[in-house]
Amino acid sequence: MHNRNSLRRRIIVSYISFCALICAVFVTIFKFAEEYVEDELIYTRLAAELERQIRNHRQGIRLEPLAGVTFFIADEIPGYLRHLPTDGLAHEVDVNGHELTALLRQEEAVTYAIAAGLERFELIEFAITLALAVATLASLLLSYGFAYGILNRVIAPLRNLTRKVETGTLQKADAVASEDEIGILAKAILDRDAELSRFISRERLFTGDVSHELRTPLTIILGGSEVLASRLSADAKAMEYIERIRYTARDTSERVTALLLLSRSPDAISARQSDLTLLVEKEIDRHRYLLEGKAVSCKLSLECDSTFFVRPELAAIAFGNLIRNAFQYTEEGAVAIGLTAAGFVISDTGCGVPEAIQEHLFERFVRGDSNVLSGSGLGLSIVMRVCEHVGWKLRYQPRASGGSEFSIHFYPEGSAEISGDFINAEPQ
């Protein structure tokens, strides 16, 4: 609603500004016309009358000047006019609060002067200016009313279309009923909505089919590993591999479930209180094999027991991908993991992330150029999807001493910052 009102306001302001510009042009034209009329009716008229009086005086004739005009000869010229130049040009003089226009000329050592009052002209000028100001104000008010009325008539169909799109009540009949631009827009929205619906339906079907097809072989793997465990229970080495197979198959089944949850709306998922401490410890144990043969230590710091209303499958994906990346890309030094009531943070002394890809780090298929940063480029994008799905905030920052630090903020709005400062990720 705010955006629509803002658009309406901008259009009305633009229309009124245009009308104001036109009014300003008319006012400017009026001022030029006023100056022209003043010059023609007063200055030119007085100059012609002065010329006529001088000519008649030299012929010995003394005529009455035009109405409102006074003619002076030599000593008759009053003191308030004597200081004016005798150049024959019009000069304005203030006499006791009254404005006069006077012209002085000298012919054969005789000075002539003519003067006329401006009160009548100024009264007419004031009346015209007042009428112009009233007309300008009325024009602006009428422009506002006209713009508001027309705009409401124009925008009303668009508002109706917007309301139907927002409430999901837009029907094909709405596009057929109107043959103007609104109808064309409604048809385009319906076509796009239908295309998106088909795409979402295909994605859901694909996710469901993949889940079904994966669960069957995973069940077979789990069943086969149990049979092998019962038959090879005396072989400790074989049991180690069998346990890894069973653990991986069970974990993959949970990951499939988590990916299915990601394909659904967050409102459609019932979250329960999960112990995030147990999840983090489980993910550390699950990926600890990546540290075998490396001079890398792992440290877990817990400020307090952390529980959160979230599906454990989703939280495990987020924590697991970050832990796996830290273990995989750290060749020596330490990986430090911290969990608080406000969030999860993990820092390492690995190779870090090239600066060129940091801006696009959480996009799909983004990987470093070196062989060290191998992989599909999907792990961090999945972590980002999980965080967006459950309302968490994922952040990355390079460590000054080398390596990376990732943090997940459980309460991104108004929460305290978390960092790896309380854990030591330096080599020991």
pLDDT, one tens digit per residue, over 330-355 is: 999 999 999 988 899 999 998 888 88
Residue 427 is predicted with a pLDDT of: 41
**Residue 64: what pLDDT?**
77
**Are the beta carbons of 11 and 151 closer than 8 angstroms?**
yes
Give the Cα separation of 41 and 165 in Å (integer).
Answer: 67
4 in Cβ contact with 159 (< 8 Å): yes
> CA angle, 357 as apex, 352 and 358 as ends, to 5°?
65
pLDDT for the residue numbered 370? 46
Q: Determine the pLDDT at residue 395.
A: 92
Average pLDDT over residues 47-60: 82
All structural domains of the chain with their residue ranges: 2-141, 181-262, 269-422
pLDDT score for 345: 94
Q: How many CA atoms lie within 13 A of 331 on its CB side?
A: 5
* Helix residue ranges, H only, 39-111: 45-58, 79-82
Q: How far apart are CA 26 and CA 19, in angstroms?
A: 11
Cα dihedral 281→283→289→295 (10° resolution): -60
Closest CA relative to residue 147, chosen from 325, 8, 319, 299 = 8
Distance in angstroms (rounded) separating the CA atoms of residues 33 and 168: 61
Q: Which pLDDT belongs to residue 180?
A: 67
The predicted pLDDT at position 75 comes to 84
Displacement of CA 357 from its chain's centroid (Å): 25
CATH number assigned to the domain covering 181-262: 1.10.287
Q: Residue ranges of the alpha helices (H) in 90-178?
A: 119-167, 172-177
Please tell me the distance from the alpha carbon of residue 323 to that of residue 387, in angstroms, as a whole number: 15
Higher pLDDT, 277 or 415: 277
The answer to whether residues 260 and 207 touch, using CB atoms and an 8 Å cutoff, is: yes
Q: How far apart are CA 333 and CA 425, in angstroms?
A: 8
pLDDT of residue 428 exceeding 50, the answer is no
Between strands 393-398 and 404-409, the pairing is antiparallel
Beta strand pairing call for 404-409 and 343-348: antiparallel
pLDDT score for 175? 60
Residue 416 has pLDDT above 60, yes or no: no
pLDDT of residue 422: 46
What pTM was estimated for this model as a whole? Answer: 0.51
The half-sphere exposure of 290 on its side-chain side, counting CA atoms within 13 A, is 19
Higher pLDDT, 306 or 415: 306
Structure tokens at 275: 């112990």
pLDDT digits (tens, 9 = 90+) for 235-273: 788 888 888 787 777 777 777 777 777 766 666 566 778
pLDDT band of 281, cuts 50, 70, 90: very high
> 54-68, 96-110, 355-369: lowest mean pLDDT where?
355-369
Spell 321-335 as b/e; 16+ CB within 10 A means b.
bbbbbbbbbbeebbb
* Banded model confidence at residue 197, pLDDT cuts 50, 70, 90: confident
Token pair, residue 293, equals: 């043969």
**DSSP 8-state secondary structure symbol assigned to residue 86:** S
CA pair distance 333, 265, nearest whole angstrom: 41
Residue-wise pLDDT for 368-393, tens only, equals 544 444 454 567 888 888 888 888 99
Instruction: Please give the torsion angle defined by the CA atoms of residues 67, 68, 73 and 74, in that order, rounded to the nearest 10 degrees.
Output: 180
Q: Is the distance from CB of 383 to CB of 372 less than 8 angstroms? A: no
Share of the chain above pLDDT 70, in %: 77
Query: Of 146, 134, 151, nearest to 7 (Cα)?
Result: 151
What is the share, in percent, of the chain residues with pLDDT greater than 90?
10
Are 250 and 222 contacting, i.e. CB atoms less than 8 angstroms apart? Answer: yes
Mean pLDDT of the chain: 77
Q: Cβ neighbours of residue 86 under 8 Å, at least 6 residues apart?
A: 104, 105, 106, 111
Q: What is the CATH number of domain 269-422?
A: 3.30.565.10
Mean pLDDT, residues 21-47 taken together: 73
pLDDT digits (tens, 9 = 90+) for 105-143: 888 888 888 888 766 666 666 777 777 778 777 877 777
Widest Cα–Cα separation across the chain: 152
- Residue 203, pLDDT above cutoff 70: no
Q: Which amino acid type is present at position 139? A: S
Q: Are 20 and 140 in contact (CB under 8 A)?
A: yes
- What DSSP state is assigned to residue 298? E
User: In this predicted structure, what is the pLDDT of residue 393?
Assistant: 92
Closest residue by Cα to residue 302 from 276, 338, 275: 338
Look at residue 371 in the predicted model and tell me its pLDDT: 45
